């Protein structure tokens, strides 16, 4: 079996739209030099993303899941170019984005991506009307159409996300959270992207609204044929919307695989803990979630070996001494765990 999850697309004959290889992003969070000299303290480097690999096939959804602080949103910011990577490669249809030095070419690449943000209350400019919010990306991307054509397109986009033309001349504060997120989705669609990065797009919404927004997002993907990088901390929202899932812990991918395979046969103890923590409306459920010991370690000083080992109920000596690689357990399903390389975990484990 291959030790390289990047080979999944080539094995299936598909060309990856996005390929991430060895991606790292470190932040210097040290005190000023003079303070460090007076206190005798070294530099402090926060390892937000510590070398991950994944790819997204055209028309598919890849969900990146993990607790807050594991590095998911940093990955999203790296992909859209808000942060440069410390090392590693981000390739869009085979083009290394870091190697593109021509500004016009870079803008052309970034025009093929869009982002939906987590907080619909903070991501819309309160001073702009909805018409300007939706059409601003088009203008920035060089659209040459007149205002009447822009307005017609904005109306069509609002209609597609469940709002009406009467909303174009209103301000964000006049909308509910769910409506604001629909406006954010319309804004993302305005540039006709091939990849949409959705960073916790429903976590700030009421549970009653979340399903509506998720259904809308998947209907739009089916209609327009773009791909999603879907970032979330909640496994319960991704099973039916994602083709593949990657589980992150402390800057590393600990498991990746087809959505159903990860849910039905999780191979990493952390993935199993996340799944068992999802509340189910089943009074006959026999298995109780097992408690993960302790707190998430600091990304400034991560543990040696497997970063999950201090909290893992199945750890043994090798776990603290050697970092397990992300290796293929079964076809297309990869796990970074010394214990569960060859078998899935069940509720009886």
Q: Quick one: average pLDDT of 33-38?
A: 88
- Reply yes or no on domain 7-112+193-335 having CATH 3.10.20.600: no
For a pLDDT cut of 70, what percent of the chain falls above it?
Answer: 89
Instruction: Determine which of 109-113, 284-288, 301-305, 328-332 has the lowest per-residue pLDDT on average.
Output: 284-288
Instruction: Determine which of 118-122, 187-191, 303-307 has the lowest per-residue pLDDT on average.
Output: 118-122
**Residue-wise over 282-320: b if at least 16 C-beta within 10 A, else e?**
eeeeeeeeeebeeebbebeebbebbbbbbbbebbeeebe
- Helical pair 130-140 and 147-160, crossing angle rounded to 10 deg: 110
Banded model confidence at residue 348, pLDDT cuts 50, 70, 90: very low
Condensed to tens digits (0 to 9), the pLDDT of residues 68-123 reads: 889 999 999 999 989 999 999 999 999 999 888 888 888 888 889 999 999 988 99
Domains of the chain by residue range:
7-112+193-335
Give residue 281's pLDDT: 62
pTM of the model: 0.89
CA geometry: angle at 340 spanning 339 and 343, to 5°? Answer: 140
Three-state secondary structure of 101-120: CCHHHHHHHHCCEEEECCCC
Instruction: Determine which of 136-145, 281-290, 310-319 has the lowest per-residue pLDDT on average.
Output: 281-290
Banded model confidence at residue 2, pLDDT cuts 50, 70, 90: very low
Give residue 6's pLDDT: 53
Banded model confidence at residue 347, pLDDT cuts 50, 70, 90: very low
Give residue 227's pLDDT: 97
């Amino acid at each position: 079996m291959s030790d390289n999850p990047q080979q999944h697309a080539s094995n299936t004959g598909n060309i990856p739209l996005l390929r991430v290889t060895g991606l790292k992003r470190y932040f210097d969070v040290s005190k000023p030099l003079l303070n460090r000299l007076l206190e005798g303290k070294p530099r402090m480097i926060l390892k937000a993303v510590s070398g991950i690999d994944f790819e997204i096939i055209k028309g598919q959804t890849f969900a990146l899941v993990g607790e807050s602080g594991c590095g998911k949103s940093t990955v999203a910011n790296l992909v859209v170019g808000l942060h440069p990577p410390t090392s590693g490669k981000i390739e869009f249809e085979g083009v290394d984005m870091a190697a593109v030095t021509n500004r016009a070419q870079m803008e052309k690449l970034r025009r093929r991506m869009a982002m939906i943000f987590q907080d619909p209350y903070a991501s819309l400019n309160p001073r702009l009307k909805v018409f300007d919010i939706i059409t601003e990306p088009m203008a920035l991307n060089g659209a040459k159409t007149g205002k009447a054509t822009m307005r017609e397109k904005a109306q069509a986009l609002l209609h597609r996300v469940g709002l009406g033309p009467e909303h174009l001349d209103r301000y964000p504060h006049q909308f509910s959270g769910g409506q604001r997120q629909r406006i954010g989705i319309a804004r993302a669609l305005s540039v006709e992207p091939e990849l949409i990065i959705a960073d916790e797009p429903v976590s700030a919404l009421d549970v009653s609204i979340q399903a509506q927004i998720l259904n809308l997002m998947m209907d739009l993907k089916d209609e327009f044929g773009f791909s999603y990088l879907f970032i979330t901390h909640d496994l319960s929202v991704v099973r039916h919307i994602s083709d593949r899932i990657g589980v992150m812990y402390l800057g590393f991918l600990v498991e990746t695989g087809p959505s159903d395979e990860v849910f039905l046969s999780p191979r990493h103890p952390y993935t199993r803990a996340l799944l068992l923590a999802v509340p189910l409306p089943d009074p006959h459920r026999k298995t109780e979630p097992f408690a993960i010991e302790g707190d998430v370690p600091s990304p400034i000083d991560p543990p040696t070996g497997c970063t999950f080992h201090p909290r893992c109920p199945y750890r043994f000596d090798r776990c603290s001494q050697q970092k397990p690689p992300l290796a293929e357990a079964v076809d297309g399903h990869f796990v970074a765990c010394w214990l569960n390389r060859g078998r899935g975990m069940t509720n009886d484990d």
